Chain A
Amino acid sequence: MAMLELEKVRISFGALTTLDDLTLHVNKGEIVSVIGPNGAGKTTLFNVITGVYRPDSGSITLDGQNLVGKDPAKVTRSGVARTFQNVRLFLNMSVIENVMAATFGHTHAGLFSSALGLPRSRREEADVREQAEELLRFFGTRLTGYRWEEPAYSLSYANRRRLEIARALATKPKVLLLDEPAAGMNPKETHEITEVVERLRSEKGLTILIIEHDMHVVEGVSDRVVALDHGVKIAEGDFDSVATHPAVIEAYLGRKAAETK
């Protein structure tokens, strides 16, 4: 059963068609990878799903519910959370506040109940903190302990990526979109990310769409791989069949060859 479904989604920026009638689905509990050369339209795909851009045509549904035309906050609240390719944390807020802030959509304390410190809002605040701590603990020793009250900018690059995942989880998503979660990580950390993605499904029951350039990660996590080039789906299937697909090899090598010219 499809959890996330895109039907003939099309978006262009000026003369450039970035997604060209793209049809794609992710089943419940599935991990699907999106690969493709630089500029293929992968990040744009995420931006269209999350409501940052509105598609020119086509439909996007989450669990049967329409997403097109909703603003990003609404999309997130209906159950899609994301991370960013170029990590966008709330740098001057503490690590734990980053996670706590993302519970906004499913919490209720208003201006007056917070100001007066009513019991209900106090309870909610304690609850939010507990949720955030638990999400941070998901990353084991990597994100635990003394750093939670430190500003987010004090984290290393790898930990920023982890924190971004924890923050996305705090929105209580059904579908998680990860944009190059292993970019800039060393081999050991990259391997850990593979495990994290697997655990996100088994422990949190998430459906995951992941953009990744690192083929080890793609091979390690994917149930299915979708290859994009110029906004068109050029191949789809299990890792081996996509990785050896002539169109995929050409998209990568052709691009490389063109660049070296």
Chain B
Amino acid sequence: MDTPQTSAEDSAGRAEVVLGIGTDEWVARHNERLIVDSGPLARLKDTASKIPNLVRWLLVLLIAVAVPLGTSNPYIMRVGVNLGLFILLSYGLNIVVGYAGLLDLGYAAFYGFGAYAYALVSSDQLGHHWKTYISVPIIVVATALLGFLVSLPSRRLMGDYLAIVTLFFGQVFVQVVLSSDSITFPWATDSIDITGGSNGIPALDPFVLFGHKFLNAKDYYWLLLAIIVILTLTITRINRTRIGRAWRTIREDSLAAQAMGISINRLKFMAFIVGAALAGLAGTILSAVQGAVFVNGFDLPLLTLVYAAIILGGSGSLPGAVMGAIVMSLLPEFLRVPSYSEILFFVVLILVIGAMRRSIKSFAITLLGIFVTGIIVRGIFLSLSVKSLPRDEWATGVIGRFLSHWLFVPNNRLLWGNASFVLLIALIAYLTQASPTIKRILLPVAAFLGIFLWEVRLIQQPSTTRQLIIGTMLIVLMVTKPQGFLGKARVEVL
């Protein structure tokens, strides 16, 4: 009798303070009611999110300007140029996919088209040496036109059709380039080599702009930086105004967009064409900076990386595109050095555990659990008298030396490494289904297996490891932050 009364009073009392559920004010304040992350990581995130956008842009720009002033190291400048090209590609794809919501799977081919077109008019291949300020604008327009032609067959530009047509186009492009090294025209006797087939086209002219001949990567870096600054300003402006708004309405609800007088087909073409043009521009710069062009690099792997970049950063967000491009183009470089990749592996591992164990206490318990698991496993190995690998044969990096007092690394790395790999996959598969209690108990075991696998096997194979790390990062991100780092969570139906 007593209990219901109290609770009735309770809710009546609360109703005066709290707004009624479903009223306008209540709905409008929905953000305040979202569960707020706690913990040191979340606090850091919170502080970072308070920095205004302009300041962030300026900060990035400052670094981008400072690097070439501080160093002329050709390797660093090459990495910088790659990053710039990547950002350019991400910007273009971001318009197509992020704003207009069109699945363009032939994007890499537009990049390749720009690159080859530049090569053909700037080398002895066909004997043309056009001036840069003529060739580049013409190629950009031509790529835009090609984009228009490719999107034409799927006139209504519906998701799946467009994806298939563009994917097909991308593959055709590669095949055409590969087989255009001996084309016979009916009126000619000899066959002509246009694209150089798998050998590519060498000895391309560098850019010459404003009487300045581009001699090294640094020159292209400055050019790219200027282009990116201009594009950032203009794309931001477009996004905020009439055309950009219309693009976003298509992504939101294309039927409603049409009902509001928005000609969605024209806008889709426009997005597609702008995206292609940017890819074409990037292609010309790639050719010029490389001084040669080859067909590999305009295929699915590149497409995957650019898509990963914009999804990682948050589709539809320009800062996200930059950030995604930074991660996707710098990370593989960074991971080339084994000791760096080791550090990154452990950072990611700790972040994953941190994401799963929010409070400091349970985090510490998990670490302890990993430690204990290691001791137990060492005991098992010793009692089975498995031969161990001498410490100085595997503990190379800083972390390795630190771990070597605790981790048992068996002599037969191949066998035990593969075994732990299979075990880890099985364990993770099981854990996704398991109850929270079991998860809590087995998480340290899984983490230990990860460390074991890393030190025993993966560290020996940097290239596989690189892909594994990037893949894992994407999966973790997909689970914890589906909208990407800088994207806003989208609401579909409410």
- Give residues in A with beta carbon < 8 Å to B: 50, 52, 71-73, 76-77, 81-82, 84, 88-93, 97, 100-107, 109-111, 114-117, 121, 124-125, 128, 142, 146-147, 150-151, 153-159, 167-168, 170-171
Contacts and interface: CB of A to CB of B under 8 A. Distances in A.
Contacts of B245: 93, 97, 100-101, 104
Contact of A153 (B24, B243, B491): B491
Interface of B: 22-24, 26-28, 30-31, 234-235, 237-238, 241-246, 248-249, 252-253, 255-264, 270, 274, 488, 490-492, 494
A125 B242 contact: yes
Given A90-B249, A101-B248, A111-B243, 12 more contacts: A81-B261, A89-B256, A91-B491, A97-B248, A105-B260, A105-B262, A114-B244, A147-B28, A156-B23, A156-B27, A157-B22, A159-B24
Contacts of A72: 255, 258-259
A157 B26 CA distance: 12
Nearest to A155: B27
B214 to A, nearest CB: 26
Contacts of A105: 260-262
B494 A91 contact: yes
Contact of B260 (A76, A124, A142, A158): A76
Contacts of B256: 84, 88-90
Nearest to B264: A73
Q: Is the interface of B mostly helix, strand, loop or mixed?
A: helix
Nearest to B236: A115
B260 A101 contact: yes
A72 B249 CA distance: 15
Nearest to A102: B260
B234 A115 contact: yes
Task: Across the A-B interface, give the 9 residue pairs with the lowest CB-CB distance, nearest first.
Answer: A105-B261, A76-B261, A90-B252, A115-B234, A72-B258, A102-B260, A88-B256, A153-B491, A114-B241
Contacts of A107: 242
B19 to A, nearest CB: 11
12 contacts: A52-B255, A52-B259, A73-B262, A77-B261, A89-B252, A91-B253, A91-B494, A93-B248, A121-B241, A146-B28, A153-B491, A154-B28
Contacts, number: 131
B245 to A, nearest CB: 4
A116 B235 CA distance: 10
A110 B261 contact: no
Given A91-B252, A92-B491, A104 B260 contact: yes
A73 B491 contact: no
A97 B257 CA distance: 12
A125 to B, nearest CB: 5
Given A91-B252, A110-B243, A50 B259 contact: yes
A150 B30 CA distance: 11
Given A91-B492, A147-B28, A159-B24, A101 B237 contact: no
Nearest to B24: A156
B436 to A, nearest CB: 31
Nearest to B23: A156
Contacts of B258: 71-73, 76
A73 to B, nearest CB: 5
Contacts of A91: 252-253, 491-492, 494
A93 B252 contact: yes
A72 B258 CA distance: 6
A54 to B, nearest CB: 14
A116 B238 CA distance: 9
A101 B246 contact: yes
A136 B243 CA distance: 22
Nearest to B491: A153
B252 A92 contact: yes
Nearest to B260: A102
Given A104-B246, A156-B23, A156-B27, A73 B263 contact: yes
Contacts of B235: 115
Contacts of A117: 237
A24 B421 CA distance: 72
Given A90-B253, A101-B260, A105-B262, A153 B242 contact: no
Contacts of B264: 73
A114 B237 CA distance: 7
B261 A73 contact: yes
A115 B270 contact: no
A111 B270 contact: yes
A121 B234 CA distance: 13
A106 B27 CA distance: 33
Nearest to A93: B248
B414 to A, nearest CB: 51
Contact of B27 (A77, A101, A154): A154
A116 to B, nearest CB: 7
Contacts of B24: 142, 147, 155-156, 158-159
Contacts of B260: 76, 81, 101-102, 104-105, 167-168, 170-171
Nearest to A110: B243
Contacts of A71: 258
Q: Among A89, A104, A124, A146, which residue has the most Cβ atoms of chain B within 10 A?
A: A104
Contacts of A150: 28
A142 B248 CA distance: 26
A60 to B, nearest CB: 16
Given A93-B249, A116-B234, A156-B23, A109 B261 contact: no
